[in-house]
Amino acid sequence: MPKTVLEINEVTKYYQDFMALSGVSLSLEDGEIRALIGPNGAGKTTLFSVISGESPLSRGRIVYKGKDISRRSPWQRVRMGIGRSFQVARVFLDMTVQESLYLSLQAHAGWHDPFHLLNNFFAPPRSVVETTEKILEEIGLADERNASVKTLSHGDKKRLELAMAMAQDPVVLLLDEPTAGMSPRETTDTVNLIKKMHANRKFTVFLTEHDMGVVFSLADNISVLSYGRLIANGKPEEIRAEQSVQDAYLGKGDEFDAVS
Amino acid sequence: MSGQSPNNDFRVLKLVTLAIIAVVALGLPHWADLGITFRASLVLISILFATSFNLLFHYTGLISFGQAAYFATGAYVAALCLKSGTSVFGGIAIAMVAAGLAAAFLGYIALRASGIYFAIITLALGQIIYQVIYKWPATGGENGLVDIPRGSVNLGLVQISLSSGVSYYYFVLLCVCLGLLILWCATHSNFGLVLMSIKQDRVRTSFLGINVRLYELISFLVAGSMAGLAGALYGPLTGVLMPELATWIYSTSPILTTLLGGASFFWGPAAGALCFGFIEYFTRTMTGMSSLIIGLLLLTVVLAFPGGILGLATSWLRASPTFKRSSVMEPDTGQSTVLNGEKDNA
């Protein structure tokens, strides 16, 4: 029987008077890939920022592995195993690709105990160097390892961000539009990369996406958000048939038909 | 040397520069008079002071106007220890701990704000330290502290008195080199990498599971204790401490030094301090002239060469045929030879 890793319980979020999320409840099973879809402004990014701790929720609870994490700070949630990427890749432009991965891996290895803090004054340990090499091969940026991040293409920046999150061995990975702004070719590559990494590591993925092709080729389950409310939840084929979803995407219904 | 790659040529240049600096620094008291030796000690202290400021400024991305307060904390604590008979190293250690804790505590409060508000709070908190020194009888109040002894270093078998200008100069040289080594390690390691990531995007850094606040506090602690070390060396050198040392006006000195030398280089503040030292020496007979020259120089640097002296030197080297196409003296982005050992061979 599947185990729930992340439970979002009646979460409401106000921005001043505007209710961006209204009593959203859903739970993620261990190892599934769940897509969150909905028209622009439905509250997808808000839900992500509430789960990751970027902004505080107004009401409700977020329970991770049985613990209420609603009040934890972002870095604590990451250390507990909830990684994320951003809609517009947020990478460190003045670093090299390799340094970005070192940073991420070292942060995961634990900067926080005093021994590691001392270790910080020396070269990265062999395990970090080896894992970095492995990941560089996996994401196809091995030749770029000493390139400055600011010289990377948009797609490569997003791929690097994905790798930085993946390097920390997350239990739940939140991906905010992992293929946004990518060429069709880059999109296919990224979808395959996510599939491959998911197959190897068996983490839970929660992603938002506008590209329905990506959604239907990755997701085990789909949740639909509209005007801050969760209107549907289910297998891809169920969602495609759902009338309320068709209505929410009024005038965009062809997006569903386009995907066979 | 024509067969060598530009990178190797550059390495030779670096080594030659280092050797010249080492020879000059070690031999200085033998050919210079006591006045110059005294000035050189002051320059060394301001090198450490400015480099400690740059740890916060360039590496962590925090502009602090409280640096003089940490310097003064170290100076006063060390002076009071020495006056009450503590050993030299004991006094310095206590001064560094006191200054580091003061910096971390003030940083803890100031970090609740950001940007310009953060800078103003560091300024205000620094002024509180100034007021304490100014009003407290134990620190000599507005009259300051006088007759600060230099003490002597006990090496088991031999006892070296630091009372002469020359021996104190060597003592300062040693302490400043150790302080710079600590700062170099702090910036050229994984720790420095985290500081750089915080500077670039603190929110993103926290989403790597890094406790940003803790790292900022540690950088305050390190920068504060190094400023305290500089202060601890300063008191016994001049023999006199005045409360004005703690005011924010003195906090601008490492800022100007750093901007003149080039904030994006680890050795930028050192180059700036050296330059200020020369200006002050050559204008010593003309009252007010040094301020005028320093003002004009800073104006020129900020407007025309925002990279500072080292930034200018780098672009000259880049333009020269020998070093063309090589990555001559990349601005220090915290990436280290430790981290990127492979880079040169690639």
Interface ipTM: 0.86
State the DSSP code for A13: E
Chain A residue numbers touching B214 (CB-CB < 8 A): 112
Mark yes or no for CB contact B210/A111 under 8 Å: yes
Q: Which residues contact B18 (CB under 8 A, 6 or more apart)?
A: none
Report the pLDDT averaged over residues A142-149: 88
Contacts of A113 in chain B (CB under 8 A): none
| Tokens at A175, concatenated | 């991906």
Calpha distance A57→B314 (Å, rounded):
50
Asked if residues A93 and A181 have their Cβ atoms less than 8 Å apart, the reply is no
Q: Tell me the pLDDT band of B32, cut-offs 50, 70 and 90.
A: confident
Indicate if the pLDDT at residue B322 is higher than 80.
Answer: no
Mean pLDDT check: name the lowest of A125-129, A238-242, B35-39, B60-64. A125-129
Min Cα separation A253/chain B (Å): 36
Helix/strand/coil (H/E/C) assignment for every residue in A201-227: HCCEEEEECCCHHHHHHHCCEEEEEEC
Q: CB-CB: which of A54, A96, A117 is closest to B335? A: A96
- Please tell me if residue A112 touches chain B, with a CB cutoff of 8 Å: yes
Nearest to B197 among A86, A103, A121 (CB): A103
Return the structure tokens found at B79.
Answer: 């002076």
Residue B346 in this model has a pLDDT that exceeds 90: no
B-contacting residues of A 80-99, CB under 8 Å?
A: 83-84, 86, 90-96, 98-99
Better-scored residue on pLDDT, B39 or B322: B39
Predicted structure pTM score: 0.84
Give residue A2's pLDDT band: very low, low, confident or very high (50, 70, 90): low
What's the confidence (pLDDT) of residue B340?
A: 41
Return the sign of the alpha-carbon dihedral for residues A103, A108, A111, A116: negative
Cross-chain Cβ contact B210/A75 below 8 Å:
yes
* pLDDT for res A33: 94
At B95 the pLDDT is 96
Which member of B194, B207, B341 has the closest CB to residue A74? Answer: B207
Residue B85 has pLDDT above 80, yes or no: yes
Q: Which of B341, B68, B60 is nearest to B219 (CA)?
A: B60
Residue B259 vs residue A112, higher pLDDT: B259
Q: Which residues of chain A have a CB within 8 Å of the CB of B55?
A: none
The pLDDT of residue B204 is 92
CB of A115 within 8 Å of a chain B CB? The answer is no
DSSP A182-199: --HHHHHHHHHHHHHHHH
Distance CA B229, CA B296 (A): 31
Take residue B85 and report the two structure tokens written for it. 């008979």
What Rg, from alpha-carbon coordinates, does chain B have?
A: 20
